[in-house]
Structure 1
Amino acid sequence: MIGYSRGSEWRRWDLHVHEALRASLEENLQIIHDSVAYLKSKGKEVIYDAEHFFDGFVENPDYALETCVTAWDAGADVVVLCDTNGGALPFQVEEVIRRVREAFPDMPLGLHAHNDSDTAVSSTVAAVRLGVGHVQGTINGYGERCGNANLCSILPNLQLKMGCSFQKKVKLEKLTQLSRYVSEIANLTHREEMPYVGNSAFAHKGGIHVSAIHRNRRTYEHIPPEAVGNRQRVLVSDQAGQSNVLYKAREMGLDLDSRREEVRHIVQELKKLEHLGYQFEGAEGSFEVLVRKTIGDVKPFFTLLSARVTVDRTENGFLYAEAVLKLEVNGKIEHTAAEGHGPVDALDKALRKALLPFYPSLKAVKLVDYKVRVLDSEKATAAEVRVFVESSDGRETWGTVGVSENIIEASWRALVDSISYKLMKTKQR
């Protein structure tokens, strides 16, 4: 049984009985018995959470066990041993569970682990191996302090690695989708490095790795990503070899196997750009623009002839930015200006204003995220910056990147790649 919610909590560490409840040990036992018995008399399923059980067991094992027996005798359906402070290591959890099992072999046990020692998942898996049938945890491990046991790791570990079976409503192939949904609802960034469900869980970077997984995915993947609703990703970077580029090209619908010279040129260009500070992980829109331009699959959709960006303060003290652009589009000169909340916003608006009459599909494109990273903080305000832009047209979301010592220039490069990517996709359709 996988427990997704908490039951009632009772104290079984004598320190908490004396200091938190301000009760005697006997009074605490009576409270436990009466509470469980009352709930059972109302026909309720009672999941007895033995708060601070592992700490209490270390200091007074007889009393910790007595609290569990009291709850069980009163009718508790499951006795959940809680590592409330998250300090017990897996081997300690195993040892305590064995001793509880020896004393009461028929008692239905559960485990509730916190992650303060970064071992909540390991402790939970160890408990299941010892016959514990009720597990508590949270999606993505969200919880107080360092979090709870992460169900997004526990569920696939139990089913795919240990052969445990769940109720039919537990659909493991929806796990990644659920994980990201919970992050979105919680308004928290979905951690890319999370096992199984993270964006990097099945990502491959080194050329040898990519070449190997192309022949046999098991060489560098411990499970099929699809089993948990995730996907295989091949990254492009200064570690990339021709295998990476060929793999990514196939994802784009390009067959470059017979164009090895162009592939080598793409690899060299990637290495040069990353040396300058570019990073294409998360900026696959820029990567596709680079590849298609290099092989001559797409021509520039416009040419910048001149640009000017100014920031002024009004009489009321408000700052505003204005961008003036001169572009050549399909042989015609477009001279436009636009105001914005800041220089990047003004540039974005001026660029769209100039291009919309020629490319109506750009009307659907929205800027959904904008990030700036200083590459060398020791250079202070003269440092190069890397700008990531995330855009969406309602159907697809893509990332682009730009690098420069000038934040406006870096932003412009990322914006141009974003527009170019959208126009490439529109042309392909």
Structure 2
Amino acid sequence: MRASGEDRRIWIFDTTLRDGGQTMGIDFSCSDKRELSRALDEFGVDYIEAGWPGANPTDDAFFADPPELGSAKLVAFGMTRRKGVSAKEDGVLQSVIKGKSHAVCLFGKTWDFHVQEALKVSLEENLNMIRESIAAVREEGKEAMFDCEHFFDGFKANPTYAVACARAAWEAGASWVVLCDTNGGSMPEEVYQIVLQVKEEVEGVRLGIHCHNDCGLAVANSLAAVAGGARQVQGTINGIGERCGNADLVTVMANLMLKFDFETGVERSRMKELRKISRLLDERLSREPSRQAPYVGVAAFAHKGGVHASAAEKDPRTYEHVSPELVGNERIFVVSNQAGRASMMARLRELGIEVEAGSKVVDVLIKEVKDKEFRGWTFDTAEASFEVLARKRLGLLPELFDLLSYRLHESREEEGESLVSVSVALLVAGERRSASGCGRDSLLALEKAMLEALRQDFALLLEGLCVTDVRVRLRQQGGGKEEEVRVSLCCHGRRGPSRTIGVSHNSSSAFLAALEDAIKWQLL
């Protein structure tokens, strides 16, 4: 699929803020759209589709005062004119056209079934609606694009009419005719052949592709369309979108540029910011990043099995298809119950811990990790807990503090709500420190008490430290053994975020074990 000359240029059309906003549980604010628009523009995408002016107050506010962009074009989304009215008389269409945007992308029906059953208009009238709507955008002096809704289903049902719709938009002045797999049910070979045929039948047309992920093939279908001649790719960051999502532009861009040597508006030197863009979206949405996301996930270049880790340390090409640095990621040697000496030594070196090759302490550490993982610890997802454990066993952990005891009392108020009071006792530099905390939740009260007890000795180092994510899981050992509770938490502080884990017979003790690791990691 490698192209040459001008044919190597692919235009990236980001619809995270429009189509991505249709994801269940996602609702972008105006400030979200502003920050993400600026970030996408700085990164180098060509088009940013930010919403539908006139559809809701958020989009109205955004397009009334959009952010200034550098090279990216801001796109407003809308639909072709309604039946029975002209483009100038259609208030919905005019709201889209009059919005403060560089370009307008209109969608229209291209499946005869939808035209006749959903729109209830003749096939010829639908063609007129496409032509007149695109012309109206052009008359306003804006770039016009046309999304051929349900194009692949329409082509399979009536190829002549589907192509006629694409031709109508192109001849009316659309800069791009975008073929949409709206239901996400097409296969890559189908997409390739259909794009190829449209390219041949509509002379000079510039084709784009818009794929949904209902069969898990949105990225593959986007690449198949490029192979067939499409030169604009639409999608969303991290593949968010309605139902199963859209084509993930993070993966698409990495594949196009690193595997097929295409050029995009993103400079190759900026591809190392790919993971940063992915994480920025997750942070705005308060979502946990996908650990196994291609290219940018924390596990994308993680080596866990002993044989794999040993080979990857000698030469990363043995188990890596590209260098993680190209996309802003990093290589990780995971320590787990599958760890051998090679992976353990590699992980320790990553932490800046140098150990003699034949040290017996490493064998002791490996055994302890495996024993703890059998009991419920998962160090491959709790890197900070592993570092604290490793430094402790290797004699490299400073004398910080030890938890001596804690007491917890819960009382029920008249309204039926409970109030939890907690007291803790710590040993810090040979001296006893005590403190108490209270709250509606026992874990929150424990966090308050622990930090208060340490404030006298570590106030500056612990400034701003807070627990942001706690996950509690009851773990059954089997074989007649008692159940244990596993608590993992994410903690933010001066060293950045860390994830730790604790396992015990109750949630309070497990939480304190994880919190103790998190605090010690921040103090290192």
TM-score category, normalised to shorter length: over 0.9
Partner secondary structure for residue 9 of structure 1 = strand
Q: Do 1:78 and 1:110's aligned partners in 2 also have CA atoms closer than 8 Å?
A: yes
Q: Displacement of 1:364 after TM fit? A: 3.9
Higher relative contact order, structure no. (Cα contacts within 8 Å, ≥ 6 residues apart): 2
Tell me the residue number matched to 2:279. Answer: 180
Q: Quick one: distance in 2 between partners of 1:311 and 1:207?
A: 47
Q: Which runs of 5+ in 2 are unaligned?
A: 1-10, 15-48, 50-76, 78-104
Tell me the residue number matched to 2:381. Answer: 282
TM-score, reference length from structure 1: 0.93
Tell me the residue number matched to 1:20. Answer: 118
Matched, 1:122 2:220: yes
Q: Greater CA deviation, 192-201 or 298-307? A: 298-307
Q: Quick one: distance in 2 between partners of 1:418 and 1:38?
A: 59
Q: 1:47 corresponds to which letter in structure 2?
A: M
Show CA shifts across 1:347-405 (max 9, x none): 222223333223332344222221112223999xx631111122222342212111012
Tell me the residue number matched to 2:290. Answer: 191
Q: Displacement of 1:266 after TM fit? A: 0.6
- From 196, 202, 205, the equivalent of 1:104 is 202
Q: Displacement of 1:63 after TM fit? A: 0.9
Tell me the residue number matched to 1:385. Answer: 485
Q: Displacement of 1:37 after TM fit? A: 2.2
User: Which runs of structure 2 are paired with 1:40-55 in the superposition (5 Å)?
Assistant: 40-55=138-153
Q: Do 1:246 and 1:257's aligned partners in 2 also have CA atoms closer than 8 Å?
A: no
TM-score, reference length from structure 2: 0.77
Q: 2:121 corresponds to which letter in structure 1?
A: A
- From 146, 153, 157, the equivalent of 1:59 is 157
Q: Displacement of 1:334 after TM fit? A: 3.2
Question: In 2 relative to 1, CA 63–198 (structure 1 residues): closer, same or farther, beyond 3 Å?
Answer: same
Percent identity reads 41
Show CA shifts across 1:204-262 (max 9, x none): 11111111111111111111111111111221110111122212211221111345211
Q: Displacement of 1:185 after TM fit? A: 1.9
User: Which runs of structure 2 are paired with 1:135-214 in the superposition (5 Å)?
Assistant: 135-168=233-266, 171-214=270-313
Q: Greater CA deviation, 69-78 or 135-144? A: 69-78
Q: Quick one: distance in 2 between partners of 1:357 and 1:230?
A: 38
Q: Quick one: distance in 2 between partners of 1:409 and 1:397?
A: 22
Q: 1:138 corresponds to which letter in structure 2?
A: T
Q: 1:405 corresponds to which letter in structure 2?
A: H
RMSD between aligned residues: 2.2
Q: Quick one: distance in 1 between partners of 2:456 and 2:470?
A: 26
Q: Which runs of 5+ in 1 are unaligned?
A: none
Tell me the residue number matched to 2:469. Answer: 369
- From 423, 436, 461, the equivalent of 1:324 is 423
Q: Displacement of 1:303 after TM fit? A: 3.6
Show CA shifts across 1:170-219 (max 9, x none): 73221110111112223333211111111211111111111111111111
Q: Do 2:193 and 2:228's aligned partners in 1 also have CA atoms closer than 8 Å?
A: no
User: Which runs of structure 2 are paired with 1:71-90 in the superposition (5 Å)?
Assistant: 71-90=169-188
User: Which runs of structure 2 are paired with 1:337-348 in the superposition (5 Å)?
Assistant: 337-348=436-447
Q: Do 2:494 and 2:522's aligned partners in 1 also have CA atoms closer than 8 Å?
A: no
Q: Do 1:83 and 1:112's aligned partners in 2 also have CA atoms closer than 8 Å?
A: yes
Tell me the residue number matched to 2:107. Answer: 9
- From 64, 68, 71, the equivalent of 2:166 is 68
Q: Quick one: distance in 2 between partners of 1:132 and 1:181?
A: 29
Q: Quick one: distance in 1 between partners of 2:341 and 2:274?
A: 33
Q: Quick one: distance in 2 between partners of 1:281 and 1:211?
A: 17
Q: 2:107 corresponds to which letter in structure 1?
A: E
Tell me the residue number matched to 1:410. Answer: 510
- From 400, 413, 418, the equivalent of 1:301 is 400
Q: Quick one: distance in 1 between partners of 2:402 and 2:325?
A: 42
Partner secondary structure for residue 387 of structure 1 = strand
Question: In 2 relative to 1, CA 175–327 (structure 1 residues): closer, same or farther, beyond 3 Å?
Answer: closer
Question: In 2 relative to 1, CA 350–209 (structure 1 residues): closer, same or farther, beyond 3 Å?
Answer: same
Q: Do 2:199 and 2:229's aligned partners in 1 also have CA atoms closer than 8 Å?
A: no
Q: 1:66 corresponds to which letter in structure 2?
A: A
- From 340, 352, 370, the equivalent of 1:253 is 352
